[in-house]
Structure 1
Amino acid sequence: MHVLRVDKVYEIYKQLEEKHVLLSFKGMITSELLTTILQIMESKMEHMDEKPKVKRKVFNILVECLQNLYHHIDQEDRIHMPLEDKSALLMIAKREFEYEITTGNYMKAEDVQPLKEKLDLVNSMNKDELKAYYKQVLSEGSLSQKGTAGLGMIDIARKSGEKLDYNFSPINDTTTFFSLSVKIAE
């Protein structure tokens, strides 16, 4: 039995092509994988002869998105989670004048509301308000259990200049799948 029907592979290829997907990954995020993905995207953007300013913007946002995926599940959680819950999704697409980075990962259902509130707050702010909020959070300096100050989503919104598109899909009483999509205009 095949994992994927061989007669469906071209259909999947066409769908990825139609959506202009440059890179797609599903699996466990490791520090080695982060480095590899960044190297692949750097090479792809060089090949596309992308402007340095655009490359820097995409690269910086991609780093933040990957760090969010990597830091989301701490080592202690990983021991007790089923394999599929350790898995994450990353897709990077390039349309004519914008990039789109989409991520997805499992999270604890109890963490949905605080994250939703933070995302809504970030999305309600303009550029100047985001800058002030970033400085405020940075100066308060309270680190989360994962060693971050919660600056990632603020930084992504600041650097992209766009609202963060997100979704929470409940899996069961304890687990939710969180999806985030960030558009980066050239």
Structure 2
Amino acid sequence: MTATLYLIRHAPHDHLGRILSGRTPGIPLSDDGRGRARRLSAALSARRFASIWSSPVQRARETAREIVTGRGLGVQVDNALDEIDFGDWTGKTFDTLAVDDQWAIWNSARGEALTPAGESMSAVQMRVVTFARTVALAHPGEAVVLVSHCDVIRAALAGWLGLPLGNALNFDVDPASVSRVAVGDWGARVLSINEVFA
């Protein structure tokens, strides 16, 4: 049996595009982000979900809470969906990172590069793909939402597509976007990437 996973990137927040927020607490969705999360929820309202999971990071949990509205479901949180641990880069502006040689290596060789005192992309891929498979096998024939973060979703999709992690930047995962994957005991098949409804 096959489950369909809806991998959803959280909606926008005020640091988006300016600061590498990472796992920094206390960063809510922006006004625009809340509106986009509500529109995404409306776009998905006809779809039935067996469960809705979220990263523990606030912006992801807020996005997930919009999606569960009116469904009689709660949001389940799991650390496997957490943002990448960016270590010493957390909280730095992208302008500051742009002159960091290690940041340039991270963006050109994701499969081999390391974050400073943080997490590798391969470790991210392993935790999210393992979790996604476990959830999928627990929900045969059903659909499940996993709300996470851009590069976490990219890492998972690259794994399912058989792409090296160095190619994970070759496709977009926009805020409030949906990427769908069919997962079963036979493996996984990517159905869509970066569907934007909001």
TM-score by length of 1: 0.31
Higher relative contact order (CA 8 A, sep 6+): 2
More strand by share: 1
TM-score by length of 2: 0.30
More helix by share: 1
Q: Which has the larger radius of gyration?
A: 1
